[in-house]
Amino acid sequence: MSFQNKNLSVIAYANGFTLWHYSARETLSQISANGYFNGVKTLMNVGDIIIINASDTTAIKKINVTELNVTTGTLA
């Protein structure tokens, strides 16, 4: 399965920062793959945070947006 808009929600937004939530029946590694969130690339910003409820686990990731892809990474 691929990214589904209906599974993405904004929990909070302030000062250019967004806290997102995404839930899907895919594994965390599938959802965390480079480019998975490219369909909403114009909505996400570097430094945004996303809570992912995947089929195998739940994780909190940071968002990075490059010219080519939206990626997720571990929080520092």
Does the CA dihedral 33-37-41-47 come out positive or negative?
negative
Instruction: Of 24, 25, 23, 62, give the one whose Cα is nearest residue 44.
Output: 62
pLDDT tens for residues 11-66? 999 999 999 999 999 999 999 999 999 999 999 999 999 999 999 999 999 999 99
Q: Calculate mean pLDDT across residues 62-75.
A: 96
Domain total of the chain:
1
Residue 39 is part of which domain span? 5-71
- The answer to the question of residue 36 being in a domain is yes
Per-residue model confidence (pLDDT) at position 36: 98
Per-residue model confidence (pLDDT) at position 76: 78
- The answer to the question of residue 76 being in a domain is no
* Contact in structure between 53 and 23 (CB atoms under 8 Å): yes
Phi, psi of 6 (to 5 degrees): -65, -15
